[in-house]
Chains A and B, each alone.
Chain A
Amino acid sequence: MSAVRLENITKTYNKGTVSAVSDVSFEVAQGELFGLIGPDGAGKTSIFRMLTTLLLPDGGKASVDGYDVVKDYKTIRSRVGYMPGRFSLYQDLTVEENLAFFATVFGTTIEANYELVKDIYRQIEPFKTRRAGKLSGGMKQKLALCCALIHKPGVLFLDEPTTGVDSVSRKEFWEMLRRLKEQNITILVSTPYMDEATLCDRIALIQSGKILSIDTPAGTVKSFRGNLFTVRSAEIYRLLNDLRDYENTGTCFAFGEHLHLTFAEERAGQEEDLQQYLRQKNHTDIELGRVEPGIEDCFIQFMKQ
């Protein structure tokens, strides 16, 4: 049985005028770490809220742990852990008070499930008498995760847990999720950061309420059509403009300090032709080579379709 299942889920706001989620279907297996990846406004939060029974879908069916999100909402509420995107704990309660409070709300105690949160809680335990408002972003996030885990949920929903957190804390956070997965907790996580996709078992790319693709990170990358090239020269902005004017350019985008390019039509000698063209345009220090596409490249390609 899948831990989470969505069938043709649709959600609109403002009396149907604004479509937030349209016809989304996917399944998450027991114990899977599943990522919902897309920019702000893609519909990630709406999907999470429907699955945690906070919103009613306008159409379609969804279940969590086999329970229907509409009919069995009470059962689901006692079984899932949820960390909303704007969740920021009670700023005026201490770390310990926050955790104890959420434990009681879910009818349990810190001691009963300490084993599960131990690894994470140990990192913030030195500050347990500090008020949550005085913690750094990374620590708040760890505390929030502890609070969402304290009742040993079967499915954990994390809505943009790493937004606004620095890169070191983000790494630590994903490390924690990996360890949780080993405890056979199903985790659904959403993020706008493409570079976090590779840390999931499977990912759904989502844009404007529609699923672009669902696959493993490797599978997603494999589905990239055509070859991807990386180009650079001494003057990157002029290079970008010149490449966009080139007759055989499919797409060309800035990608870090390089440009990523696909050809409109794959043909023999295409690379030499391009080098030739760039030399004509007086570019110096030209570098051109094949590169493995990343999730972000795939996302761009899906969006262009």
Chain B
Amino acid sequence: MSEPVIKTEKLTKRFGDFIAADALSFDVMPGEIFGFLGANGAGKTTAMRMLCGLSKPTSGEATVAGYDVYRETDLIKKNIGYMSQKFSLYEDLTVVENIRFYAGIYGLTDKAIREKSEALLDQLGMTHEAKKLVSELPLGWKQKLSFSVAVIHQPKVVFLDEPTGGVDPVTRRQFWDLIYDASDKGMTVFVTTHYMDEAEYCNRVSIMVDGRIDALDSPQNLKKQFSVHSMDEVFYQLARGAKRTAD
């Protein structure tokens, strides 16, 4: 068994008296699709920021891609990818300009960038659209491009923040094909969402309530444990008791 890619031990973040993330302990294995669920205000964003090296934990330990979240945040940033539904692509740049920009951020050489862009366009079947503005693309394509750009530097972990909200069912499945493919190649996929249908696609999911992780298992086992038929009901049973209501 290989080493976990994300490993946290009692990871905690306080803002004054408020405990945003309360002693989180979990491991995520290479190639795993890990769902990170919770209601608004449950602490998902705080936890994810700590793992991405954007926010210093108050106490506890965590490593991402083998690097410490306190001291090695620069190395973490080099080894992770990030995609949120809204902000990943520049609408007023062309497809190929976006690709080059992101490749450039991660310090790829000019030659590597050119090769990468071509390979990527080919793989996405978007060679003819290379010079089109991103704003002209259909939503589904944007999303695929967005994901491909997020993993252009072949990170060990990619964080997806509510990646498929508002997308039609066919496009959504094409998107999950990409995720499965990435995971098949050994990339760890960390998905935060509060939509349960997305959760069912994950290998394992954790559910946060009021800053704590209240459940962590495969969707199948969780459904068995709560004797219900859908993740939605599992979530409902857990989150109903939540005290926090802040966004």
Contact = CB atoms under 8 A, between A and B. Distances in A.
Touching in the complex, A and B, CB below 8 A?
A: yes
A254 interface: yes
Interface residues of B, number: 37
A163 B39 CA distance: 13
Interface stretch (A93-101, A107-115, A135-143, A221-229): A135-143
Contact of B169 (A40, A167, A236, A303): A303
Interface in A151-210: 163-169, 171, 192-195, 207
Interface residues of A, number: 37
A296 B170 CA distance: 9
Nearest to B235: A167
Contacts, number: 94
A26 interface: no
A273 interface: no
Contact of B41 (A40, A136, A253, A300): A136
B194 A256 contact: no
Contacts of B39: 166-169
B119 interface: no
Contacts of A165: 40
B219 A256 contact: yes
A39 interface: yes
B240 interface: yes
B166 A256 contact: no
B168 A299 contact: yes
A135 B244 CA distance: 11
Nearest to B166: A40
A184 B171 CA distance: 37
A57 interface: no
B245 interface: yes
B201 A39 contact: no
Given A168-B236, A168-B242, A254 B177 contact: yes
A169 to B, nearest CB: 8
Given A193-B195, A299-B168, A303-B168, A168 B239 contact: yes
Contacts of A238: 184
A166 B169 contact: no
17 contacts: A38-B168, A39-B139, A39-B168, A40-B166, A40-B167, A136-B245, A138-B245, A163-B166, A166-B40, A167-B39, A168-B239, A194-B197, A195-B197, A254-B177, A256-B200, A303-B168, A303-B170
